[in-house]
A and B are shown apart, each in its own frame.
Chain A
Amino acid sequence: MLRLIVQRLLLLIPLLLGLSVLLFAWVRALPGGPATALLGERATPEAVARINTLYGFDQPVHVQYFKYLSRLLQGDFGVSTRTGRPVLDEFLTRFPATIELTVVALIIAIGIGIPLGYVAARRAGSFLDHSSVVVSLIGVTVPVFFLAFILKYVFAVELGWFPSTGRQDPTMIATHPTNFYVLDGLLTGEWDAAWDALVHLILPGIALGTIPLAIVARMTRAAVSEVQNADYVRTARAKGIKSARLRGDHIVRNSMLPVLTTIGLQVGLLLSGAVLTETVFAFSGIGSFLAEAVFNADYPVMQGFVLMIAIVYALVNLLVDVSYGLIDPRLRRQQ
């Protein structure tokens, strides 16, 4: 198991190197040249001259690249042209918000998607089966930001059940030791603050979770319908295995591999969707900050955030790969 993790981590290195080359080339391709791109529109000639020497833009390309790489390795992702703060700091202060949102979305997607897909497959042709097909279609055809709009309009603006924007009521006095607002409230015993933060997560969480829900439900349905007709399930049934065990050990467990893969891939979708969902709900995570960066041509932020998000995405999928072994003992032995 450990060997697999190390192996996978080592495989990440060439990927990250490749990405750094692409992002390095990306800054050079930006309109106005790299120095202007990194400093913003209002750059003074002195500042341009300074950054040219600092980043070595007056030196050969390979020297520039290695300078960029060594800065990356020291955790220097540049400085936001809009806020003037280091990109890494901006990322780290906002990332907890996005993690909270993503976790809520994943809970919704998995918690509803897997049971829905399972029941749809077990009762093929039933009302639930048909409604699962409708849910999957809605999931892949409705744009996430439109869904966010509708939820916001109906449940926040019209009905007033949920707050329409932000992570917490601004009048709420709360301390934030970890920046995970729900967790903060629980740690400090500020229950009302935790509750308020949780309520703020519901609508964006549903908006963000619906598309993955549809995909997970669909994948589960396909996997379960294949597995339940497999010879070994028929044999197990013929042997008279109790139906609870048949369902748990034979059907569900064997159909979870493709579902797990799908869930890992959804994290990329969630991080993309967070850009749009956080923008609609003015939720200050990495997504809305990235959207503002796009809007204001804050290239250092875009460069840094894309790299960080790719790393997060790769690590999540590494976790998924490793967890295959937990589900399927055959893979464990191979590893």
Chain B
Amino acid sequence: MSANELPVTDGAAAAPLHQSIHGDGPGGADHAGEGVWARAWRTLRKNPVAIAGFVIVAIFVLVAILAPVLAPYGPDELPGRAEVRPTMIPGPSAEYPLGLDRYGGDVLSKLIWGAQASLLVGVLSTLFGLVGGMLLGLLAGWFGKWVDFGAMRLVDLMLSVPSLLLAVSIAAIAGQSSMSVIIAIGVVQIPIFARLLRGSMLAQRGQDYVLAASALGLSRRSVTMSHVLPNSVGPVIVQATLTLATAVIEAAALSFLGLGGGEPSTAEWGRMLTAAQQELAVAPRLAILPGICIAITALGFTLVGESLREALDPRNRTRR
């Protein structure tokens, strides 16, 4: 629990964001009345790092969606099965631009289909964690008292187990499939989102505008829903973007450990790395290519998330 009573992830980090949402801080004068999101967008557009991140993410999403058009072969096809020998795996050629793998699959096609698998797992698990975490955080922030206490102790419990181990344990219950990987990674994110939203809401509660809204006679529900909640989601959205990066990496780790299910020749980046382990001396490209794909995808989401965090942080506003 000591690990979990830390100021970094709690409301403390989220607090500065909100102080300025309603008060017009320094530097905001030239765009008075502009919302916090519009301002963030204006900052992001001028930030080359953010643009690089957006470009990577856009390419990744496009490749994932257009996989059926882009990939020369289907996800389960093994077009070069006859060409693979126990001692030799054919490298890049005109027909297979990135070569073949041990099973005779076309590496380029598998990487493209792997993007689709990663996007699916990343988005669905993040959504799972986001919805679950926000519900739990909202519950805690709404009812307070013992509901809050119970929810936060549950969060402490989940955070007391290192994330990969928690994911592995959950995947063990859910069975070996890509669905179980999604659930496992999603559940692991729940405590993070829950704590973030709760902390953020608590910080909002003490703000003058909340007091003013209550004084005007607004019901508790409309104060929470239309004032506290919308102003509390900033850090949660930043976290969700960053979570997309970790979800892609964790999904690869879980399939690497064999929890993704399916054939060893499945077109999935983590799975490709597992299979490549034996071929490291013969064909290192089999490990390097999917690894680079994972890293670049994670980089894209991280860049977007970090620049979003920076853009939403009012402390950075005066400098621009």
Contacts from A to B (Cβ < 8 Å): 8, 11-12, 14-15, 18-19, 22, 26, 29-31, 137-138, 140-146, 149-150, 152-153, 157, 258, 261-262, 264-265, 268-269, 271-273, 275-276, 279-280, 290-291, 294-295, 297, 299, 302, 305-306, 309-310, 313-314, 317-318, 320-321
Q: How large is the interface on B (under 10, 10 to 19, 20 to 34, 35 or more residues)?
A: 35 or more
Considering only residues 92-139 of chain B, those with a C-beta below 8 Å from chain A are none
Are B295 and A268 touching (Cβ within 8 A)?
A: no
A12: which B residues are within 8 A, CB to CB?
1
Known A-B contacts A30-B172, A153-B284; the reply to A309 vs B162 at CB < 8 A is yes
Are A149 and B291 touching (Cβ within 8 A)?
A: yes
**5 tightest CB-CB pairs across the interface, nearest first?**
A272-B164, A146-B291, A317-B3, A141-B298, A268-B162
Are A294 and B168 touching (Cβ within 8 A)?
A: yes
Q: Is B65 an interface residue (CB 8 A)?
A: no
Nearest-Cβ distance from residue B194 to partner chain A, whole angstroms: 16
Nearest-Cβ distance from residue A159 to partner chain B, whole angstroms: 13
Q: Is B88 an interface residue (CB 8 A)?
A: no
Are A137 and B256 touching (Cβ within 8 A)?
A: no
Chain A residue nearest in CB terms to B245: A141
Considering only residues 254-287 of chain B, those with a C-beta below 8 Å from chain A are 256-259, 273, 276-277, 280-281, 284, 287
Are A141 and B2 touching (Cβ within 8 A)?
A: no
Q: Is B43 an interface residue (CB 8 A)?
A: no
Are B295 and A142 touching (Cβ within 8 A)?
A: yes
Are B165 and A150 touching (Cβ within 8 A)?
A: no
A30: which B residues are within 8 A, CB to CB?
172-173
Query: In the complex, which of the residues B3, B166, B280, B291 contacts A143, with contact meaning CB atoms closer than 8 Å?
Result: B291
Are B2 and A146 touching (Cβ within 8 A)?
A: no
Q: Is the interface of B mostly helix, strand, loop or mixed?
A: helix
Q: Is B8 an interface residue (CB 8 A)?
A: yes
A141: which B residues are within 8 A, CB to CB?
245, 249, 295-296, 298-299, 302
Are A149 and B3 touching (Cβ within 8 A)?
A: no
Contacts from B to A (Cβ < 8 Å): 1-3, 6-8, 153, 156-157, 160-166, 168-169, 172-173, 175, 245, 249, 252-253, 256-259, 273, 276-277, 280-281, 284, 287-288, 291, 294-296, 298-299, 302-303
B288: which A residues are within 8 A, CB to CB?
150
Chain B residue nearest in CB terms to A142: B295
Known A-B contacts A149-B291, A153-B287; the reply to A310 vs B160 at CB < 8 A is yes
Q: What is the CA–CA distance of A262 and B280 in the complex, to the nearest angstrom?
A: 34
B302: which A residues are within 8 A, CB to CB?
137, 140-141
Query: In the complex, which of the residues B169, B245, B259 contacts A306, with contact meaning CB atoms closer than 8 Å?
Result: B169
Q: What is the CA–CA distance of A320 and B155 in the complex, to the nearest angstrom?
A: 20
Q: What is the CA–CA distance of A304 and B2 in the complex, to the nearest angstrom?
A: 21
Q: What is the CA–CA distance of A297 and B169 in the complex, to the nearest angstrom?
A: 11
Can you list 25 pairs linking A and B with CB atoms under 8 Å apart?
Answer: A14-B153, A15-B1, A29-B173, A137-B299, A140-B245, A141-B245, A142-B298, A143-B252, A143-B291, A146-B295, A149-B277, A149-B287, A150-B291, A153-B280, A265-B3, A268-B162, A269-B162, A271-B165, A275-B164, A290-B168, A302-B172, A309-B165, A313-B3, A313-B161, A314-B3
Are A276 and B256 touching (Cβ within 8 A)?
A: yes
Q: What is the CA–CA distance of A152 and B277 in the complex, to the nearest angstrom?
A: 10
Chain A residue nearest in CB terms to B291: A146
Chain B residue nearest in CB terms to A21: B157
Chain B residue nearest in CB terms to A31: B175
Nearest-Cβ distance from residue B93 to partner chain A, whole angstroms: 23
B161: which A residues are within 8 A, CB to CB?
19, 306, 309-310, 313
Chain B residue nearest in CB terms to A140: B302
Are B1 and A11 touching (Cβ within 8 A)?
A: yes
A19: which B residues are within 8 A, CB to CB?
157, 160-161
Query: In the complex, which of the residues A15, A261, A264, A295 contacts B160, with contact meaning CB atoms closer than 8 Å?
Result: A15
A317: which B residues are within 8 A, CB to CB?
2-3
Known A-B contacts A15-B156, A141-B295; the reply to A272 vs B165 at CB < 8 A is yes
A272: which B residues are within 8 A, CB to CB?
162-165
Most chain A CB within 10 A, of B169, B295, B303, is at B169
Q: What is the CA–CA distance of A157 and B278 in the complex, to the nearest angstrom?
A: 12
Are A295 and B257 touching (Cβ within 8 A)?
A: yes
Are B281 and A268 touching (Cβ within 8 A)?
A: no
A143: which B residues are within 8 A, CB to CB?
249, 252-253, 291, 294-295, 298
